[in-house]
Amino acid sequence: MARAMKPIDILILSNGPGEITTWVRPVVRALRKQLGDDPAQTRISVMLSPCPHSTGQEATIARRYPEVNRVQSSEHFFSFLLWGNTVDNWDWRDKGVVLFLGGDQFYPLMIGKRLGYRTIIYAEWEARWYRWLDCFAVMNQRVMEGIPGSYRNKLNIVGDLMADFSPTSLNFVEMSANPVIGILPGSKAGKLTQGVPLCLAIAEKIYQHKPHAHFILPIAPTINRETLVRFADPDSNPFVMKMGGVSGQLIVENKGKKENYYLKTKTGLKIQLISQFPAHKHLQECCLALTTVGANTAELGALGIPMIVLLPTQQLDAMRTWDGIPGILANLPLLGSQLAKLINARVVKMGRLFAWPNIWAKEEIVPELKGELQAETVADLVLDWLDNPSKLNQIHHRLLQVRGQPGAAQKIAQIVEQQLENSDQ
């Protein structure tokens, strides 16, 4: 394995929760495999820029990656962009690269010039600023279309980073008498207010027909168990009664030295709460999942897990994370709630796709259920899938096709090494 003679810095620019989880994570692993684990030789820093989909915990997630040495959260980004100052007064080595994994492609151009580093862009859909940036790792041939021939030597097809998200090769769980069903209601209050009680009501309906089914709920790293449980309590969340009337309370069961936490309903249904993040090991046991829109759909799609995407409109102003002008309007003081209702009603009627696997495939591989959803209707769909495993397997294999072949992260790591070598020339 080739090693740089001088100590180097790799600065990764990223932004939202999906990028941090599904792009940054496999890339930093690949970088360590390619360039070694010694931070005195190769130092990896992650700098976050503001994102409309941010949960506020992206920096916390990035700090959990053992491959990463330094992290700066998004609120300090523009101070560095404009003045070159990090909140912790980072020092910079003479040799390095700026690697773009989410945000605005103009940022690495500015920062690369400031630091004197080579610039590498992972371009999923579009390559910009190609005249001034050094190198692009692009998802597919389509990204290269429209780029003048004189600049195409800067573009390298690496594939879809989402295909590298899965930590292991997957074998889809065959149907058993005790199916495992994942519940991913989101991470923000706007989604959890509807998502938790709706999913509880759906699980209750399934439990009545499949009493041996096992339910798991991976808790987003941005919230804790106690916060999540409040969304299942009608005294704290009035939408519990509007979404089916099924409440839950937190219980703890001890198995040896291990404590397991559950949301338990009055009928005895237990939903296991998973605090481990990422929860891949648990999700890989699922035959299907109920999820809200967002990064969850990308993760489930990368794992090949069939899902039902829920967009309830009982609280029509809950979704306020649109990009551009709609997102700005939906978050205005005083008028934001009413504008969000109008925007969301319009978006739902437009029939656009929300789940990432559907967006990638440009067709509805997994169902997206929109409107004033009823628990019984969704439960009937789940029960039909459980009784017809061939339907689940068909969706599973289609998701894997869309995901593509893994290997993009390692190709990006090789490009980083090449650009470091080029900087010596």
Average pLDDT for the chain: 85
pLDDT at 168: 43
pLDDT at 61: 86
Tens digits of residue pLDDT in 177-235: 689 999 999 888 878 999 999 999 999 999 999 999 999 999 987 788 999 999 999 99
From 111, 117, 148, select the one nearest 10 (Cα to Cα): 117
**Residue 2 — pLDDT band, cuts 50, 70, 90?**
very low
pLDDT at 323: 47
Tens digits of residue pLDDT in 29-82: 999 999 999 999 999 999 999 887 676 778 888 999 999 999 999 999 999 998
pLDDT at 53: 67
Domains of the chain: 8-165+406-422 (3.40.50.2000), 180-403 (3.40.50.2000)
CA torsion through residues 9, 15, 20, 24, sign: negative
For the record, the structure tokens of 122 come out as 């992972």
Average pLDDT score over residue span 245-274: 92
Distant-in-sequence, close-in-space partners of 262: CB < 8 Å, separation ≥ 6: 250, 251, 252, 253, 270, 271, 272, 273
Separation of alpha carbons 170 and 283, rounded Å = 11
pLDDT at 111: 94
Tens digits of residue pLDDT in 283-312: 989 999 999 988 788 889 888 899 999 988
Average pLDDT score over residue span 133-160: 86
Average pLDDT score over residue span 268-288: 89
Separation of alpha carbons 413 and 42, rounded Å = 12
pLDDT at 343: 54
Separation of alpha carbons 101 and 309, rounded Å = 26
pLDDT at 4: 45
Q: What percent of the chain has pLDDT over 70?
A: 86
Tens digits of residue pLDDT in 305-362: 999 999 887 554 555 455 444 455 445 565 555 555 565 566 556 567 888 889 878 8
Which residue bears the tokens 């309903």? 265
**170 pLDDT more than 50:** no
pLDDT at 115: 94
pTM of the model: 0.70
Average pLDDT score over residue span 259-276: 94
pLDDT at 335: 58
